[in-house]
């Protein structure tokens, strides 16, 4: 017997109990030898009388619930000697003591995740925020983010920031508008709304077009950015065809904002609109054929080029002094009346001279011509 006990001999002092354990060489079975302790036959720190009064204990088993703690120690710590997991957190009471957690508190660090759940996920059950991202481990597990990765979706925002903003820490673009949550917060747009300014163009598309995602009409032309893109216009250029009329004014007038001369009459839409002409009617585009010289090469309202000029010397090339400066463009020595169409640089004037204006000019010139003829 003595030789059999030599391989494994343990003396437990203090309770008056000697426990001898022996394992066979094959370790397939174990033999335990006990010498009765004083009034505590299983030497667990509880007297047989106490264990018999406690239905949770077995006076013949030092660790009734097999959680790694003696029944006597469990009663001292406030755990249940008949329940291996007193706080139902997924960890045995003995394992919790090994981890440093509280076997009577299912969530030792108060982060919303049980101690057992944290150990299963690789988190620290003694640290409420294992990855220091501003979101507790419990919050992250509930949200589906990684409690060991501060930015689960790699969008530039920590999981804690995303939870604070209401965005999804597992989706880099929560609203699916083509702009990451981090970019939207940086640009001042709403990461929870695909179209922050409600102009029909997603925030991501606005950034691609160079628009302001917080301004429905980035170029201020009276047409929202989304409509401009749909029509093939540039939402950052208020006058896409450079005709002097904004895209919004053209759409309102029915002209083509991509054609500077919608009616093909030779006068840009913007000038026609400014002069009150019809940009959809080519017949009112004045190209200098009006009887009043607009500086675009018109004729003198008095002298008929088909008749010879009369005057001193009968020199048809002698200029007639009208008392006014020649019109710019040098066309035919005509005059610029107060109501004549304004030269637009394209060889056209979009408002024709009225009959009243022509008569007024004749009234000014006739006395001068008559005087020359009398001389």
pLDDT for res 355? 52
Average pLDDT over every residue of 190-217: 96
Mean residue pLDDT across the chain: 79
pLDDT for res 38? 84
pLDDT for res 32? 45
pLDDT for res 144? 97
pLDDT for res 37? 79
**Residue whose C-alpha is closest to residue 234's, from 221, 243, 252:** 221
Dump pLDDT digits (tens) for 157-170.
999 999 999 999 99
**Residue whose C-alpha is closest to residue 191's, from 163, 219, 210:** 163
Average pLDDT over every residue of 321-341: 41
Average pLDDT over every residue of 83-100: 96
**Residue whose C-alpha is closest to residue 72's, from 10, 21, 33, 17:** 17
Residue in the structure block whose two tokens are 């006014």:
324
- 73 pLDDT above the threshold of 90: yes
Dump pLDDT digits (tens) for 108-136.
999 999 999 999 999 999 999 999 999 99
Task: Find the radius of gyration of the CA atoms of the chain.
Answer: 50
Residue 195 · residue 212 · CB < 8 Å: no
Q: Which two tokens stand for residue 42?
A: 């299983």
Lowest mean pLDDT among 2-6, 99-103, 256-260: 2-6
Dump pLDDT digits (tens) for 264-305.
999 999 999 999 999 999 998 875 444 333 344 444 433 444
pLDDT for res 77? 94
Identify which has the larger pLDDT, 338 or 46. Answer: 46
CA 268 to CA 177: how far, in whole Å? 39
């Amino acid at each position: 017997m003595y030789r059999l006990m030599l391989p494994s001999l343990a003396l437990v002092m203090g309770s008056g109990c000697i426990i001898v354990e022996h394992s066979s060489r094959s370790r397939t079975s174990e033999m335990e030898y006990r010498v009765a302790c004083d009034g505590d036959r299983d030497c667990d720190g509880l007297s047989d009388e106490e264990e018999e009064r406690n239905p949770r204990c077995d006076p013949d088993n030092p660790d009734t619930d097999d959680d790694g703690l003696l029944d006597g120690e469990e009663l001292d710590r406030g755990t249940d000697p008949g329940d291996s997991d007193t706080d139902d957190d997924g960890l045995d009471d003995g394992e919790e003591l090994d981890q440093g957690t509280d076997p009577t508190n299912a969530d030792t660090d108060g982060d919303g995740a049980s101690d057992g759940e944290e150990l299963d996920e690789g988190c620290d059950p003694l640290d409420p925020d294992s990855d220091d991202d501003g979101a507790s481990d419990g919050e992250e597990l509930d949200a589906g983010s990684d409690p060991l990765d501060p930015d689960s979706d790699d969008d530039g925002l920590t999981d804690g920031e995303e939870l604070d903003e209401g965005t999804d820490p597992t989706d880099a673009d929560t609203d699916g508008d083509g702009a990451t949550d981090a970019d939207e917060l940086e640009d001042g747009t709403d990461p929870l709304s695909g179209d922050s300014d409600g102009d029909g163009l997603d925030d991501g598309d606005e950034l691609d077009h160079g628009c302001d995602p917080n301004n429905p009409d980035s170029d201020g032309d009276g047409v929202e950015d989304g409509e401009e893109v749909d029509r093939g216009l540039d939402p950052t250029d208020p006058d896409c065809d450079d005709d002097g009329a904004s895209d919004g004014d053209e759409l309102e007038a029915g002209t083509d904002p991509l054609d500077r001369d919608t009616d093909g009459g030779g006068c840009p839409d913007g000038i026609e609109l400014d002069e009150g002409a019809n940009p959809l009617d080519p017949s009112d585009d004045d190209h200098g054929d009006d009887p009043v010289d607009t500086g675009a090469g018109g004729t003198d309202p008095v002298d008929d080029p088909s008749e010879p000029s009369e005057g001193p010397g009968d020199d048809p090339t002698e200029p007639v002094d009208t008392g006014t400066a020649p019109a710019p463009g040098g066309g035919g020595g005509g005059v610029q009346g107060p109501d004549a169409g304004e030269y637009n640089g394209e060889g056209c004037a979009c408002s024709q001279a009225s009959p009243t204006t022509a008569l007024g000019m004749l009234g000014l010139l006739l006395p001068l011509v008559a005087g020359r003829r009398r001389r």
